[in-house]
Chain A
Amino acid sequence: MIRTPLRPLARILSARQKGENPDSIERENLRLRHEAMRDKSRMRAEGRLLFLGVVFMAAFCTIGARMALLAATEPMEPRAAATGAEITAQRADITDRNGRILATNMQTYALYAQPKDMVDPARVARELAAIFPEIDAAALERRLTDGRSFLWIRKVMSPEQMQKVHEIGDPGLLFGPREMRLYPNGTLAAHVLGGASFGAEGVQSAEVIGTAGIEKAMDARLRDPAQAGTPLQLSLDLTLQAAIEEILGTGMNMLNAKGAAAILMDVHTGEILSLASLPAFDPNDRPNPLVKGDAGDSPLFNRAVQGVYELGSTFKIFTVANALQLGLVTPESMIDANAPMRVGRFLIKEFQNHNYGPKLSVNDIIVKSSNVGTANLAMLVGAERQAAFMQSLGLFDPTPVELVEAPGAKPIVPKKWPEITVMTTAYGHGIAASPMHLAAAYATIANGGVKVTPTLLHGGVPQNGPRVISPEVARAAIGMLRGVVQVGTATLADVPGYQVAGKTGTAEKPNKAGGYDSDKVVNTFAAMFPADAPKYVLVVTLDEPVETTGATPRRTAGWTAVPVAAEVIRRVAPLLGLRPVVEPAPVDTLTAVSN
């Protein structure tokens, strides 16, 4: 490139002759040069921008074309890829702890109609009504001929029904594939499983969503495509569940109870081996919830989790354990148990107006189930410590069990703790919790005082929760509960060889008038076995049972829930692999001999 000199000699000289300033020539030239440089760099920058614009344009065009192509073509499965990681099921199976199927999917078909293609709607409606009993021929014919172009007729059907629909042979009847949830065991564990139904529906597929129970609580896990191939393993044992439901059903019928619930739980892992609530329903054909009346009367109601009852004397052991833990008493301490006891305008009485007093040892308070003794013990403990202890056992919060109903079942806890509330909650009145709460709290005692959180999922490990009571106190409490079964209110539960320990509870149901009905009771028996090293906790609850073999109808737990629980333990313990232990006979402390 030829550089133009900034000070061309010819012009400088002529400028000097004219008397002009030669520097202005240099400045002018400099300006021109800078302008030329600026123009050149602008050209280059513009060129680059243009180039970049073209490149981006091309890239966007390519992506856009690809998107348009993808959007316009029919979806197709990749055929050349190796199989293995693809989605095998829309929704994961649910199995029990031994892998036996509780819920699975079945391929079936939905029936829909395109009336525009239909040859003879009247005949189709007539023949469909003959196949499906719930279809009204006249109504269906009206809908087929009112000018619509699409109509769902049935969501699922059996292969036989499908064959019959094929045999109608009308081109306007079409099938859409469906995956349907199937519960092969019928009503078994119905309240745990809940049920499933169709969500968004298309012609080619429909999503299956859980409607209740663990199906809804674990819906995200069950629908996760990455885990659809691995079944969700529950802690339930199908055999135990079947045995317990059978015995519970028999007991419920014999005792004319309105409902019943049972929970069997492993005390170390918190795994629920069986959760039964009667009356049950069939999750394959889940009934509609009641629109009027008490929801608790519906078979959908899970008494074991949702049934928040006053659980009565079963709570006494918590008061006693707390007093022992605080070091206020020992099992042998004598407590005032003179009944009836007057507190303000209330009168605390014993069962059938007994008086176990004037003094009763702490051990005998549990064995004889003394309300007055427990109330006095609670006064020693005090309101704050009582409430704190019950909270630490999880009796104030909903249970974290994996059921969608669980978070809604919040215990009814007194807001204020005046003296009378402290006394009544000590023996389980004025505070209401579900059998699941009770099972978890008893499991905490049975587990040597370390808090146990109930779970329905398999694979539990011994829990390492916060310590609620010391192992010594837990041992003493279990000893007292063993006494209840050996000589107290639950002697019918003394299953030979299994050292059952437990506590009965009889609570009258609150009525609408604000009082209690003496002939409507909730009977509970909370048990643990074997007593020397508890492995399992069993809670049996009967709603409004009555035992009528005696002269007068009996409504105490000792006559209703206890025999049912005993039968459950007799039947279930061998299935759990527990070998009966021969207990040594009590050693004679003193033998009188002559000479």
Chain B
Amino acid sequence: MRPVLYVLSFIAVMALAFWAYRENYATQHQLKEMGRLQDEIASLREALVLQRAEWAYLNRPERLRALATANFERLGLLPLEPTQFGAAAEVAYPAPPAPPAAEGATGVDAEGLPAITDPVAVAGRIAAVETATAGAAKPGDKEYP
């Protein structure tokens, strides 16, 4: 009985030694991996800071002003004026979408207006034409969009 116990315990010691050996190397590997990841995080964080700084540098008011001036023809940007404040009531409601039937109805009557095919479709078309030509709708329009 005793020799069997000796052999078993010897095998157990060997197995544990093998397990500890592997665990040791796995831990070291994980630590190395962790260090690598942390280096990566640090470098990414550094890059992030640099990019934030660059974003701030590229968006500095002086440069934006120069760009707005250089691209005035295309963008037409000007400083905000007190007259540019509007009331919510002045905002035109969007025209209701024209039903597909009206899109197909290309018939034009003698006065150059679209031919009346359907009362609902006509209402939509008229509203659309009105906003397209008049630009901003009158304040009263909001009650009858």
- For A498, the closest partner residue in chain B by CB is B82
Contact of B61 with A184 in the complex, beta carbons under 8 Å: no
Q: Give residues of chain B (16-69) contacting chain A, Cβ–Cβ below 8 Å.
A: 31, 34-35, 38, 41, 45-46, 49-50, 52-57, 59-62, 65
Cβ-neighbour of A101 out of B52, B62, B79, B84 (below 8 A): B52
Give the contact stretch, choosing among A30-38, A238-246, A296-304, A312-320.
A238-246
**B57-93 interface code vs A (CB 8 A; 1 in, 0 out):** 1011110010000000000000111111100000000
**Do A184 and B60 form a contact, CB below 8 Å, given A80-B31, A575-B80?**
yes
Give the contact stretch, choosing among A102-110, A442-450, A544-552.
A102-110
Contact of A574 with B56 in the complex, beta carbons under 8 Å: no
Contacts of B61 in A (CB 8 A): 185, 188, 238-239, 241-243
- Report Cα–Cα, A226/B19, bound state, in Å: 42
Contact of A100 with B85 in the complex, beta carbons under 8 Å: no
- Report Cα–Cα, A313/B49, bound state, in Å: 49
- Report Cα–Cα, A498/B54, bound state, in Å: 37
- Report Cα–Cα, A483/B83, bound state, in Å: 24
Give the Cβ gap from B1 to chain A, nearest Cβ, in Å. Answer: 44
- Report Cα–Cα, A495/B65, bound state, in Å: 24
Contact of A184 with B31 in the complex, beta carbons under 8 Å: no
Contact of A570 with B82 in the complex, beta carbons under 8 Å: yes
- For A241, the closest partner residue in chain B by CB is B61
Contact of B50 with A79 in the complex, beta carbons under 8 Å: no
Contact of A105 with B49 in the complex, beta carbons under 8 Å: yes
Contact of B38 with A106 in the complex, beta carbons under 8 Å: no
Cβ-neighbour of A496 out of B62, B82, B85 (below 8 A): B82
- Report Cα–Cα, A89/B48, bound state, in Å: 12
Contacts of B34 in A (CB 8 A): 79-80
- Report Cα–Cα, A19/B127, bound state, in Å: 149
- For A578, the closest partner residue in chain B by CB is B82
Contacts of A497 in B (CB 8 A): 82
* B residues contacting the other copy or chain, number (CB 8 A): 27
Cβ-neighbour of A574 out of B35, B54, B65, B80 (below 8 A): B80
**A91-129 interface code vs B (CB 8 A; 1 in, 0 out):** 000000000110011110000000000000000000000
Contact of A77 with B38 in the complex, beta carbons under 8 Å: yes
Q: Give residues of chain A (365-420) contacting chain B, Cβ–Cβ below 8 Å.
A: none
Cβ-neighbour of A104 out of B56, B65, B80, B84 (below 8 A): B56
**A59-87 interface code vs B (CB 8 A; 1 in, 0 out):** 00000000000000000010110010000
Cβ-neighbour of B53 out of A101, A246, A570, A580 (below 8 A): A101
- Report Cα–Cα, A399/B49, bound state, in Å: 34
A186 at the interface (CB under 8 A from B): yes
Cβ-neighbour of A83 out of B31, B38, B60, B79 (below 8 A): B38
**Do A184 and B57 form a contact, CB below 8 Å, given A246-B65, A575-B80?**
yes
Contacts of B53 in A (CB 8 A): 101, 104, 106, 182, 184
Contacts of B59 in A (CB 8 A): 100
- For B79, the closest partner residue in chain A by CB is A571
- Report Cα–Cα, A575/B62, bound state, in Å: 17
Contact of A580 with B85 in the complex, beta carbons under 8 Å: yes
- Report Cα–Cα, A188/B59, bound state, in Å: 13
Contact of A243 with B79 in the complex, beta carbons under 8 Å: yes
- Report Cα–Cα, A238/B83, bound state, in Å: 23
Cβ-neighbour of B82 out of A77, A184, A580 (below 8 A): A580
Contacts of B83 in A (CB 8 A): 580
Give the Cβ gap from A286 to chain B, nearest Cβ, in Å. Answer: 18
Give the Cβ gap from B51 to chain A, nearest Cβ, in Å. Answer: 11
Contact of B85 with A83 in the complex, beta carbons under 8 Å: no
Q: Which of B35, B53, B59, B61 has the most chain A CB atoms closer than 10 A to its own CB? A: B61
**Do A107 and B65 form a contact, CB below 8 Å, given A77-B38, A571-B79?**
no
Contact of A79 with B35 in the complex, beta carbons under 8 Å: yes
Contacts of A185 in B (CB 8 A): 56, 60-62
- Report Cα–Cα, A573/B83, bound state, in Å: 11
**A567-582 interface code vs B (CB 8 A; 1 in, 0 out):** 0001101110001100
Contacts of B82 in A (CB 8 A): 495-498, 570, 573-574, 580
Contacts of B60 in A (CB 8 A): 184-186, 188
Contacts of B45 in A (CB 8 A): 88
- For B34, the closest partner residue in chain A by CB is A79
**A463-500 interface code vs B (CB 8 A; 1 in, 0 out):** 00000000000000000000000000000000111100
Contact of B62 with A107 in the complex, beta carbons under 8 Å: no
Cβ-neighbour of B85 out of A107, A188, A241, A579 (below 8 A): A579
- Report Cα–Cα, A105/B49, bound state, in Å: 7
Which residues of B pack against A, CB within 8 Å? Answer: 31, 34-35, 38, 41, 45-46, 49-50, 52-57, 59-62, 65, 79-85
Which residues of A pack against B, CB within 8 Å? Answer: 77, 79-80, 83, 88-89, 100-101, 104-107, 182, 184-186, 188, 238-239, 241-243, 246, 495-498, 570-571, 573-575, 579-580
A-B contact pairs, 8 of them (CB 8 A): A80-B31, A101-B52, A101-B55, A107-B49, A184-B60, A242-B65, A246-B65, A574-B82
Which 9 residue pairs of A and B lie closest in terms of their CB atoms, listed nearest first? A242-B61, A184-B56, A184-B57, A101-B56, A574-B80, A580-B82, A185-B60, A579-B85, A79-B35
